[in-house]
Amino acid sequence: VPAGRSSGGTGPDSCVQMAAELHPRSGKLIGLSNSNRTAQRNQPVQEFNHGLVLSREPLRDRDVFTVRIDKKVNSWSGSIEIGVTALDPAGLEFPSSATGLKGGSWIVSGCSVLKDGRSVLEEYGRDLDQLGEGDRVGIQRNGKGELHLWVNGQDCGTAASGLPSRLWAVVDLYGKCTQVTVVSCEPPPEMDGEEDEEVEDEIVSTQAVRPDKFPNNFEPDSGIDSGIGGGGTGGGSSSNSSPAGSSGGVAGLGVAAGVMTTNDALLFHEKCGTLIKLSNNNKTAERRRPLDEFNNGVVMTNRPLRNNEMFEIRIDKLVDKWSGSIEIGVTTHNPNNLDYPATMTNLRSGTIMMSGCGILTNGKGTRREYCEFSLDELQEGDHIGLMRKASGALHFYINGIDQGVAANQTPGVVYGVVDLYGMAVKVTIIHNHNHSDRLRRNNAIMRALSPDVGRPRPALSLTPEPDAPDRLLFHLNCGQKAAIISDGRTALRPHATDDFNHGVVLSNRPLHSNEVFQVRIDKMVDKWAGSIEIGVTTHNPAYLQLPSTMTNLRSGTWMMTGNGVMHNGTTILDEYGHNLDRLKAGDTVGVVRKEDGSLHFFVNGVPQGPAAWNVPPSVYAVVDLYGQAAQATIMDDMADLPPLPDDSSEGPTAMSPGSPCSVSGATAANDLRFHQLHGTNAVITNGGRTALRQNCRSEFNDAIVISNRCLRDGELFEIVIQKMVDRWSGSIEAGVTAIRPEELEFPNTMTDIDYDTWMLSGTAIMQDGNTMRNNYSCDLDSLTTGSRIGMMRTATGDLHYFINGLDQGVACTGLPPEVYAVIDLYGQCVQVFITSSSGPLDNSLCTSNITEKSFPIHSPVAGVAHRLHSKHGKNVVLLGDCCQALRVDGYAHGIVFSAKELKTDEVFEVKINKVDDRWSGSLHVGLTTLQPPDLPSCPLSGLSPSLTQLRSKVTWVLAGSEVRRNGVLQRQNYGCSLDRLTVGNRVGVKRCSDDTMHILIDGEDMGPAATAVAKNVYAVLDLYGKVTAVSIVSSTLVEDSENVKAPSLSPDSCSEGEEDSTPCENEPALVPTVMTFLENHGKNIQLSNQNLTATRVSSYNQGLLVTAQALPRQQLFQVCIDRLNPSWTSSLSLGVIGHSPDRLNFPSTACCLKRSVWLLQRDSVFHNSLKICENYGPNLDTCPEGTILGLLVDSSGCLHLFVNGMDQCVAAQDIPSPCYPLIDLYGQCEQVTIVTNHVSVVGGEREDMHCQGDMEKADMVDGIKESVCWTPPPEVNPNKTCEYQALCSRFKELLTLPDGYFNEDAKYNLCYCESCHKLRGDEAYYKRGEPPRDYALPFGWCRFALRIKTHCEVSNAFKKWHIAYHGTSVGSLRRILDHNQLLSAESSSIFSLSPVKTEGHGSYGEPEENSAPEREIPRVQLSPTMRYSGLEVFAPKVQFRDPRSLRCHQAQVGFQVCVRPGSYKVGPTSLGISEPLDPRFSNAEIEWITKEKGGTLLYGLLIRVE
C-alpha cells in the first residue's frame, strides 16, 4: 500500500489479506476452498447459475480486486460476470445471477455494463465471454467514484461513475465459468511523479543547448518557450492521474496511450467457416485448400461493432482460379449461435454485404452499382473497411476512401463479417485507430512502398516526441501519384519517370505565425521540364479534392513556381527570386507566413523577400512534386533526416553523431546495401536493405537491383526472399557484374546484358547472356519464401553461391577483382532483404574448405531421428532404440513423450503397428508443456492413466474427434476420428509458427486443432484402448542445435590440405535409401528381379505400383522404360502419393486416385485428379524404350521430374513427408525397372551420368559438341520411336532422294518436335562461329544429316562458321543436293537454262589462279531462324498421303547450312512484315544475303509435316 494511505485502524497488510478473500456466504452451488480464495460451481455441466461470490471486505479506493479464471466448460453460453454492489453479503439473499442484484449494483456482463439489472453501457471493454482459462479479470473503484474493469493487468477505462464509497466486489461464476481464484486486491502500479519531472527537466535542458540550425520558427525564442510550456503543463497535470498514465504533453512520452484499445481490439471470432484457419492472434484468416474449394470461408468479428468504429481488413493473398472474390459486410447474428453458411449471401436475415460493386441485403441485391470499385478487382495489399455511423448509416471504404452510404437504419448491434470467397484466400484485420492514417491513395502506390525508407529514430530524441500533435508532417491525403512515407516526413512520386503531375502534398496542420516550413529535395529525374513548387493554401487537406497541380487551384492559394509567384492560378510576381527549376537534389526550399500576414520564401536558407501580403492566418503548407522533383523530406529539428539517395559518409549530409546508425566509420562504410539506382519497377526501402518489385501481379521484370559497392574477396552478399507470388513462371536471378551502377543502363532482365556479367538463372550459369553451364547444384526457381541466397567472389576469382548458408560449389571462374552483386526480382520473386550474414566470411568458407565439423551427427538408426523419452506410462515398454512403444498390460497407462521439445513446424509422426480389438477407444495424440525430464523415474505410477486426464501442465490432446485442453472440450468433429485408425495408419502432430496445433493423418494435414499453443512443448501419445504398439516414422534433419545440414559435395570438394577432414564418401548423409516396389499393387502387375522390375502381364490398365520405402528428401528415384507395346495408345504416368500405400486399394488407373496424389501424365501435372499445370516437360507418351525417368522431392518440398538425368524443373509444391513414388504402367508401357547403379543424392557428383546439360553450350551446335565434328553421339536422340520423326522419314522416302547424299547411320538424324527436344533439354538459342552469332534451333522440324566429305571432316575451318537456314521447295531439293550448292529463288526452277558452275561434286576449294572467271553466283536468302526461312513464301507446302496411315498431310522442306563469316550481309526482311517473327532476332536483321561461291556448306535436310 503506498505510503500515507489510510488503513482505517488496522495494518495495511491485514486489510489487503482480508479483502483478497471471498465472503463465506455465497450462491447455493458454490464451494469455497484454499482459505476462501478459490470458488467452484458445483454440478457445472447440469447447472449454469447460482454461482455468486462476493469479497469478504468492502473494497478500498483504487484497489483492484482480481480473480483468475481456473476452469471453463463449453456446455453453456455466457461466462464470468464481475462488478460491485452496495449490498452487504452478511444479510444478502443471493439471486441466481449477478444481473439480479439490485440496490446499488454495477455488473460487467459480456461487453455490457448493467446497473441494478438494467443496461447502462452496451459496448464496453473486453468481451468477458471470450476470456479463457488463465486470464485475469479485476474490478476497481477509483478515488473519483468511477468503476474500472481490468483484464490481464490492463485498464479498460471508465465503466460507470457516481459510485458510493462502500462497495463489495461481486463475481458470478456463470455459464462456462466454473472456477475462479482470488489472486490479489491491491492498487495498480503507477508512474513515479518524480521520475516524470526528471524526464521533463532533461527535455528542457537539452532544448536550451540545441545546436543552432535553420530555425523552425521565424522568431527562435518563441518556439522554445511555447514548446517547454506545453510539455510542462502536460507533465504536471498527469503526475497523480489514473493508472492510464499521462494525459498529454511531453512528459507523458507515450505512456499507455489509448489504453482502451489494448484489450478491446477487433479480432476474428474463433468460431468460423469450416475451411478457415485463424492465426496471428486471430487477426488473420485464411481459407484452406484454396485451389480445391471456393466457399466455406466466412469469418466474423469477436464482438459487435461500435458506432463510428472502423472495421478494416487487408487482402493478403488471392488465387487466380475462381471467379468472384471477397465479400464484406455486417450481420446481426451472434457468431456463437450462428450455423455458418457456405457463403454469407445465403443468409436470409439480418445481413448486409458488399459483393462486387453492389450491396446485398439478406441475400438479395438492393443496390447494383454502389460504387465505382469492384471488390472482385482488388489485389493483394488493398484495404477494405466498413463503419456503422451513429446515425445508423453503413459506409464502406476502399483503400481508405469513403464510398458513401450503402444502407440506412442499420441495426444497432451488428458484427463485422468477411466471406473469403472465390479468389480471396487470406486477409488480416488492420488495427489502426487514427482516422487520417486510412486516407490512402492509389492502391498500386501503397503496394509498392515499405513503411520506412529512412533510418530508425532514436528511442528518446533531444526534442519533444516526433509524433507530438504539434509537429509538422505531411498529410496523408495527397495527390494520386504521390505517396507519404517515413511517418509523414517524406513525400515522393514513386513513378516519377511515368507522370509529371498529381504530386501535390500538404502539411498535416496549419502553420503557426512565423513558423518556417522547409523541405529538402531528395531525388530528381531529368525527364521533364519544371520542378518543385511550394506555397500555402487555406484549404484543409482532409476535405480538399486535390488537383493535378496546385497552380490550378483558383482560391486561397499562393505558390512559388519557377522564379515567380502565383495567387489562385494567376501570376502576381514574374521575377521574384531564385529559380526553383534550377535546384538539385540536396537543395532546400521553405515558406513562412509572418504575423503581419506577409508571405516569404527561402531557397537553401536564403530569404527571397516578401512575396505576398494579407495572407490569412490559418494556412496549410503546400509542396507540389512537379516535373523533375520526385521526392522531398521536411526539414526540422525533431529528428535526424534520412540521407539523400546518393549521399556518402563524407558528404555534407553525413550521419550526425547522435544518430542511432552512427557507428565506427569502417563498419558503416562496409555495410552492404542496395544502390539507389535500380530497374524501373524496383523500389528500395528500409535504408537500402529491402528491395521489392512494385505491381508484382501485373509486372514481372524491370526490377534489377545492385549492391552499393564492389564485393571484397571472400565477402558474402546474402539476401532472403521475403515475398513471392504464384502468378509467373521463373523466379529470382542472382549474380555479379563488373559494370558500375552509374554506367549500367538497366535492361528488362539482367541476362540481357552481353558483357562483364555472370548470372545464375534457374540451374543455368550464364555469362554475358549466354549459357556457360547447365545443371548447377542449386535451382533458384525452386526456392520459396524464407530461402536465403548468397554470392561470394573468392580471392582466386571463383564465384560461389550459397543456399541457406550451404556452399553450392564453384559456379564459374576468372572473375575480375571488382564486381557488384546483382539481384533480378524476376517472375515469382517480389521482395528480398539483405541479411545480417552479409559480410566477410572466415577463411574456410572463402576457400570452400569443408571439415568434419560441417556435417551433422546423424541418428544411429538410419532414416529416423525422432525418439521417445525414457519417461512413460507404467504399462509401456520401449523397444528399438526408443523408436517403438508397446503397451504390455491393460488398456490404459500408455502415455509416451517425444525425447525432445518439438521445433516449430516439426512433425512428430508414428505408425500403428498393432491393435487389440478387445478394447474400445484408440490412440490419443497431442502436445504438452509437461517436461518429461522433470518426472520421476519409470515406471511412472503417478502419471495419469490416460492422456485426457493429464492436467498437471497445460496439455492439448485429440481423442477420437474431440480436441481438449486440460480435459476441457475445445472442439468437436475435428478431422478424421482416431477411433477409426488401424494397423498401418500414420498419425502425426506439429506445432506451427502461428501457435496452432495441427494433426496429420497418413500425411494429410487436418488443419488447426487448437490455438494459442505454448512454444516449448513435447509431443505426447497415449497407447490407449485398442492401439497397443506404435513405431516412429518421422525424422528431423537436425538433431542437435549445433549441427547443420550436410552440404552436397562433389568428390573433389573435400580439402586435401585439411588433415582432420573426413572423406565425403564416408558421410552417412550421402547414403541413399534402396528402393523396391511394394508387394501391394495393381492386379495386372507382376514383380520380379527382387522387386526391382514390374511388368504388366495383361490388358492396358490395372498397372499401378508404388515403392515399399518412402522417398527421402533430395534423393533421386529413377526407373527405366524396358518395354513398350505399340498396340496401345498413351503410356505410363508417374508421381508421388502422400499416404501409406500398405493398405491402398488400387483403382484401374492413377487418375482415379484423389487423395494426396501428385501425378505427371503426358505433359501435364495433376493433383488429386485436378490438372494444375500444362506443358510441363516432355510428353511422357512419346518416351521411347530406354528412357530413364526420375522423381525427386527437394528440401523445400517441391517435386521435380528428371528425364535421362535432366531436371525438368518444379512440377508441384508442398509435397508432404513422407511420400511414396507412384507409377502407372498404362497403355504402351508394359515394363519398368528401378535404376540402382547410380542412385544418388542430388547435389552430389554423378560421374556416370552424362547428358547434354553438362556440355558447354558455347561449344555446341544443336546440342552436339564440336569434338564430334557435327556428328551427334548416340545419346542425343533418345526418342527412338518418335512418331513424328517416323512420319517425316516416310515423307523423305517419298521424295526418292539418293541415299548417298545422307549419312548412312540414321541414328544421327535429329527430331526437333516438342517431346524430343525437351527430352534432350535443348535450349532455344545457341551461338556459333568466330565471332559468335546467335541462331535458333529449328523446333518443329526434323533434321536428316547429310554426308560430309572426308576433307571437310579433317578441316576445322568450318567450325568457325555461323549456322543459318534456307527454305526451299520440294522441286529444288534434288538439284541443290546434286550441286551441293544453294540456289536462289530465281534459279531454283528445274527449267533454269544452265546450272551454276562448280569445281566438282562436293568441292569447296578456292578456284585456281589461272582459271576462267565463273558466272556470278545468284543471291541466296538465309536466316538464323526457321521461323523466317520456314515461311511458306520460301518453303511452299506440298500435300502428300502417308502410306502407313493413308491420311493426308502437308509438308515443307529446307536446309540447315554453315555460312562463312563475312560472306553474307545482314539486312531487314524483304517481305515487309512488321510483326516480330522471332523474339531473339529483330526484323531488321533477320534476313542474310550471300552471293559468294563456297560461302555455304549444306549440313542437314529439314522437313516439317503438319
pLDDT (mean) for 535-554:
87
Exposure string over 1135-1144, b if 16+ CB within 10 A, otherwise e: bbbbbbbbeb
pLDDT (mean) for 945-949:
88
**What are the residues whose beta carbons fall under 8 Å from the beta carbon of 657, sequence distance 6 or more?**
none
What is the residue whose three cell numbers read 564492389? 710
Report the percent of the chain where pLDDT is more than 70.
Answer: 78
Distances (CA, A) of 376 to 296, 727, 1275, 1415: 18, 17, 52, 71
Q: How many angstroms separate the CA atoms of 1019 and 896, rounded? A: 9
pLDDT (mean) for 434-455:
37
Q: How many angstroms separate the CA atoms of 821 and 40, rounded? A: 66
Q: Which residue has the higher pLDDT, 698 or 495?
A: 495
* pLDDT grade for 642, boundaries at 50, 70 and 90: low
Q: Is residue 95 pLDDT above 60, yes or no?
A: yes
Q: What is the pLDDT of residue 1417?
A: 52
DSSP helix/strand/coil, 1207? strand
pLDDT (mean) for 1318-1324:
80
Q: What is the pLDDT of residue 58?
A: 93
Strands 1487-1490 and 1464-1467, by their bridges, are antiparallel
Which three cell numbers, joined as nine digits, stand for 123? 459496448
The closest alpha carbon to 897, from 920, 928, 923, belongs to 928
Q: What is the pLDDT of residue 45?
A: 85
Q: How many angstroms separate the CA atoms of 758 and 735, rounded? A: 6
The pLDDT tens digits for 1123-1162 are 999 888 889 999 999 888 877 778 889 888 888 899 999 8
Distance of CA 735 to the CA centre of its chain: 22
Q: What is the pLDDT of residue 1222?
A: 93
Q: How many angstroms separate the CA atoms of 1180 and 1202, rounded? A: 11
Q: What is the pLDDT of residue 258?
A: 35
Q: How many angstroms separate the CA atoms of 137 and 154, rounded? A: 9
pLDDT (mean) for 1085-1089:
92
Measured distance between the N- and C-terminal CA atoms of the chain, rounded to whole angstroms: 96
The closest alpha carbon to 522, from 436, 628, 451, 376, belongs to 628
Q: What is the pLDDT of residue 136?
A: 94
Q: What is the pLDDT of residue 469?
A: 53
Distances (CA, A) of 375 to 318, 629, 1062: 12, 34, 60
Q: Which residue has the higher pLDDT, 254 or 691?
A: 691
* pLDDT grade for 637, boundaries at 50, 70 and 90: low
* pLDDT grade for 1319, boundaries at 50, 70 and 90: confident
Q: Which residue has the higher pLDDT, 628 or 471?
A: 628
Q: Is residue 172 pLDDT above 70, yes or no?
A: yes
The number of beta carbons lying within 10 Å of the beta carbon of residue 1238 is: 14
* pLDDT grade for 1086, boundaries at 50, 70 and 90: very high
The pLDDT tens digits for 1293-1303 are 888 888 888 88
Strands 715-724 and 839-840, by their bridges, are antiparallel
Q: Is residue 436 pLDDT above 90, yes or no?
A: no
pLDDT (mean) for 30-58:
92
**Mean residue pLDDT across the chain:** 79
Q: What is the pLDDT of residue 419?
A: 95
Q: Is residue 449 pLDDT above 50, yes or no?
A: no
pLDDT (mean) for 364-368:
84
* pLDDT grade for 373, boundaries at 50, 70 and 90: confident
The pLDDT tens digits for 1472-1503 are 888 888 988 998 889 999 888 778 888 899 99
Q: What is the pLDDT of residue 688?
A: 81
The DSSP string of 1086-1123 is EEETTTTEEEE-SSSS--EEEBSS---TTB-EEEEEEE
Q: How many angstroms separate the CA atoms of 1005 and 132, rounded? A: 26
Q: Is residue 233 pLDDT above 60, yes or no?
A: no
**What are the residues whose beta carbons fall under 8 Å from the beta carbon of 735, sequence distance 6 or more?**
750, 757, 758, 759, 760, 766, 791, 799, 821, 822
**Range 784-788 contact pairs with CB under 8 angstroms and sequence separation of 24 or more:** 784/721, 784/724, 784/1196, 784/1198, 784/1213, 785/721, 785/722, 785/723, 785/724, 786/720, 786/721, 787/720, 787/721, 787/1196, 788/718, 788/719, 788/720, 788/721, 788/835, 788/837
DSSP helix/strand/coil, 1471? coil
Q: Choose the most confident range, by mean pLDDT, from 405-409, 495-499, 886-890.
A: 405-409
Q: What is the pLDDT of residue 1195?
A: 86
The pLDDT tens digits for 1218-1265 are 899 999 999 999 999 999 864 444 433 333 333 333 333 333 334 333
DSSP helix/strand/coil, 440? coil
Q: What is the pLDDT of residue 1023?
A: 93
The phi, psi pair for 1155, rounded to 5°, reads: -135, 115
Q: How many angstroms separate the CA atoms of 1419 and 862, rounded? A: 71
Worst-scoring range by mean pLDDT, 134-138, 714-718, 762-766, 1314-1318? 1314-1318
Q: What is the pLDDT of residue 432?
A: 53
pLDDT (mean) for 1114-1126:
91
Q: What is the pLDDT of residue 1393?
A: 33
Q: Is residue 983 pLDDT above 60, yes or no?
A: yes
Radius of gyration of the chain (CA): 39
The phi, psi pair for 14, rounded to 5°, reads: -65, -35
pLDDT (mean) for 1067-1095:
83
DSSP helix/strand/coil, 299? strand
**Amino acid letter, residue 175:** G
Q: What is the pLDDT of residue 1237?
A: 60
Say what angle helices 193-208 and 220-237 make with each other, to 10 degrees.
180
Q: Is residue 296 pLDDT above 80, yes or no?
A: yes
The pLDDT tens digits for 1261-1284 are 343 333 333 333 334 455 556 788
Nearest 5 degrees, angle CA 1385-CA 1386-CA 1389? 85
Q: How many angstroms separate the CA atoms of 616 and 582, rounded? A: 30
Distances (CA, A) of 1242 to 776, 779, 789, 1049: 11, 11, 18, 10
Q: How many angstroms separate the CA atoms of 1126 and 1182, rounded? A: 11
CB 1290 within 8 A of CB 1443: yes
Q: How many angstroms separate the CA atoms of 285 and 418, rounded? A: 9
pLDDT (mean) for 20-45:
92
**What are the residues whose beta carbons fall under 8 Å from the beta carbon of 534, sequence distance 6 or more?**
519, 559, 560, 580, 589, 590, 591, 601, 621, 622, 623, 624
Tell me 1072's DSSP state: P
Q: Is residue 938 pLDDT above 50, yes or no?
A: no
User: What's the count of helices (H) and strands (E) in the chain, helices before strands?
Assistant: 12, 93
Q: Which residue has the higher pLDDT, 178 or 1281?
A: 178
What is the residue whose three cell numbers read 462488478? 83
CB 778 within 8 A of CB 790: no
What sign results for the dihedral spanned by CA atoms 1377, 1378, 1382, 1384?
negative
**Amino acid letter, residue 634:** I
CB 64 within 8 A of CB 121: no
What is the residue whose three cell numbers read 494397423? 983
The phi, psi pair for 136, rounded to 5°, reads: -115, 140
DSSP helix/strand/coil, 425? strand
Residues, the chain? 1506
Worst-scoring range by mean pLDDT, 158-172, 483-497, 566-580, 1069-1083? 1069-1083
Q: Is residue 1320 pLDDT above 70, yes or no?
A: yes
CB 739 within 8 A of CB 753: yes
Distance of CA 1112 to the CA centre of its chain: 26
Q: What is the pLDDT of residue 297?
A: 94
pLDDT (mean) for 529-533:
91
103: left (phi over 0), alpha (psi -120 to 50) or beta: left
